[in-house]
Structure 1
Amino acid sequence: MADFDCFNTSLEGRLLFAVPKKGRLNQSALNLLEGADIQFRRENRLDIALVKNLPIALIFLPAADIPTFVGEGQVDLGITGLDQVQEHDAGVRALHRARRFSGEITPEEEVAQNGRGSGCETVLDLGFGGCKLQVQVPQNGIYKSPKDLIGKNIGTSFVHLARKYFANLELEVDSAKTQTGSHQAGFTSKLRTNIIELSGSVEAACALGVADGIVDLVESGETMKAAGLKPIDTVVETSAILIKSRKPSNQELVDLIAQRIRGVITAQKYVLCQYNIQRSTLAEASKIAPGKRAPTVTSLDEEGWVAVSVMVEKKKIALIMDGLSKIGAHDILVLDIKNSRD
């Protein structure tokens, strides 16, 4: 664990908020903080930044490490990928299992520790960084199904999720053969599939002869295609999430940050649609654009007419404008929403 002793004075009384220091989640996370009015200035090469307008310190960490820091209570809050949280959880369970096999803990203690989880709690889905953790194999190779990879070499940086995936796959195959299904994957037999830990350029592992298949994150899929790979299964569908420790130092501040971030996400998803329409047609218009909760309706000076304001999903706005125009709405305007609160 990182030692923050030299920062004790500046960090005292501040909520520690972990942010990805680089990679695919970094810029979107910073944009989210800006939208939530979390003001800070990060000095060059420093991984700690003090927030100016709130008692918060931002800690810049690798996304893969954030679940560990949050889960162990070293940091109160964090932004990372669901894939990283699930990899961390799988690692914690693997550790408990190993301790049980070594006799350090009893089976009952293992169950109890697994029941307590890894110490991370999901606050909300942040709506960006969507991708898939997939099993990929050479496009022109002999492997057509994940089961074909049992007993083969698998390259990945997600070793715990990969082991869990192939342990379950081996159990499925073994159960089908024996028709008993009485043992649990990874508990009574050694994993036959060889999981090779790689820290980068995982997509090159097959071409270089290091692995027969890989388990890696895929966004558009273009990188995998360029490497001559194709997907044959999805292990996890992931996106960025906000997580907190089980016992944050300031729950009220955690709730405030979550509320602000939720407002930013809503503002990114919706626009404000305003239009004028005859009151007699209002019910029909409300069916076309019901709003996030309900439209705001104001009477106009012209008898029988009303002005309507309604929040509409950005991706639906063109069709909604077409529909409103068709039933006689006039002066239809669309305005961006900079921020919001539920």
Structure 2
Amino acid sequence: MIRLGVPSKGRLMEQSFAWFADRGVRLTRSASDREYAGTVEGVEGVALVLLSAGEIPRELAAGRIELGVTGTDLVREKLPGWRSDLIEVAPMGFGHADLILAVPECWTDCRTLDDLASIARDFRAAHGFRLRIATKYHRLVRAHLAAHEVADYQLVDSQGATEGTVANQTAEAIADITSSGATLRANGLAVLDGPPILQSQATLFMARAATGPATDAFLRRLGLDGTKGL
């Protein structure tokens, strides 16, 4: 039995269901929103497992599901060396978002990472502690800042409402996922110039340990080639 992990609620679930339906596989959640169970029609030997998008990378890596739909940002953040455990089968064309760095709009002299590095040095000298960046993407942000020689900062963990941390004075800057930037602007934040830390979208992943005739046949049923990431 192939276990297929799909986000358990919201727009990601709906768009995932639509993506599979377009390929002749109908996924249906149980009648109760409190039940994380569902059915698969149009193909044999596949079971639907409903999970939060954040759980799916871990479940894939642990071998508890064979295939899963989740964001590229979550895989890269949660699984160091993820390529040794997972195969990126196919981007799915929805759930687009950029992982960005944003600072207060009133920091008119901070528009690039070089500006941020300079401001961070001055901030530490002036305040006696490092400039705080609120994020839940510690691994990705730390690697990005190291690559651009930004050193005088500290990461503050934020698992929700990250855009509000600057106004609440628990951070001076943020690194977060955004699609339109409207929430950032509403909170008086401006995205630093340059490419984002990561461009993310919903993607179908497969556990490397799950490669074999059954998963290959299912992926062919979807019009995909599961061996291209090997």
Q: Same fold per TM (> 0.5)?
A: yes
Does the aligned pair in 1 maintain the 2:4–2:47 contact within 8 Å?
yes
Deviations 1:157-206 (A, max 9, x none): 2122112222333xx36xxxxxxxxxxxxxxxxx6421111111111111
2:156 to 168, 183, 196: 196
Q: Counterpart of 2:220?
A: 259
SS at match of 2:219: helix
- Using the TM superposition, give the Cα deviation of residue 24 of structure 1 relative to its aligned residue in structure 2, in angstroms: 4.6
**Bigger radius of gyration:** 1
Q: What per-residue deviation string (whole Å, max 9, x for no partner) do you get for residues 301-338 of structure 1?
A: xxxxxxxxxxxxxxxxxxxxxxxxxxxxxxxxxxxxxx
1:31 aligns with 2:56: no
The answer for the alignment partner of 2:94 in structure 1 is 128
Query: In 2, are the aligned partners of 1:71 and 1:118 still within 8 Å (CA)?
Result: no
Please give the alpha-carbon distance, in whole angstroms, between the structure 2 residues aligned to 1:254 and 1:126.
18
- 2:199 is matched with which residue? 237
Alignment of 1:36-47 (within 5 A): 36-43=23-30, 44=32, 45-47=34-36
The answer on whether the counterparts of 2:4 and 2:48 sit within 8 Å (CA) in structure 1 is yes
CA RMSD of aligned residues (A): 2.3
1:215 paired with 2:205, answer: no
Aligned letter for 1:62?
S
- CA 1:126–1:57: 2 relative to 1, 3 Å: same
Aligned to 1:48: 37
1:251 is displaced (CA, Å) by 3.0
Percent of pairs with identical residues: 27
User: 1:28-53 CA distances to partner (integer Å, 9 max, x unpaired)?
Assistant: 11111222232343221222323244
Deviation at 1:132, TM superposition (A): 0.8
Gaps of 5+ in 2: 121-129, 225-230
Give the 3 Å change call, closer, same or farther, for CA 75–241 of structure 1 in structure 2: same
TM-score (norm 1): 0.55
Deviation at 1:213, TM superposition (A): 0.9
Check whether the contact 2:134–2:157 (CA below 8 A) recurs between aligned residues.
yes
Give the distance between the partners of 2:10 and 2:174, measured in 1 at CA: 20
Change in 2 beyond 3 A, CA 1:85/1:49:
same
Describe how 1:69-148 pairs up with structure 2 within 5 A. 69-89=59-79, 92=80, 114=81, 117-141=83-107, 143-147=110-114, 148=116
Unaligned regions of 5+ residues in structure 1, if any?
A: 1-13, 93-113, 174-190, 264-342
**Match in the other structure for 2:166:** 206
Q: How does 1:241-320 map to 2 (within 5 A)?
A: 241-248=203-210, 251-262=212-223
**Contact 2:60–2:86 (8 Å) recurs in 1:** yes
Distance 2:179 2:221 in 1: 28
Q: Who is 1:22 aligned against? A: 9
Question: Of 163, 166, 175, which aligns to 2:145?
Answer: 166
CA distance in 1, matches of 2:197, 2:212: 33
Q: Which has the higher helix share?
A: 1
Letter in 2 for 1:120: L
TM, length-normalised to structure 2: 0.80
1:314-329 correspondence to structure 2 within 5 Å:
none
- Deviation per residue, 1:97-124 (Å, 9 max, x gap): xxxxxxxxxxxxxxxxx5x845111011
Provide the rounded CA distance (Å) in 1 between the counterparts of 2:84 and 2:168.
36
Worse-matched range after superposition: 41-50 or 156-165: 41-50
Aligned length: 206
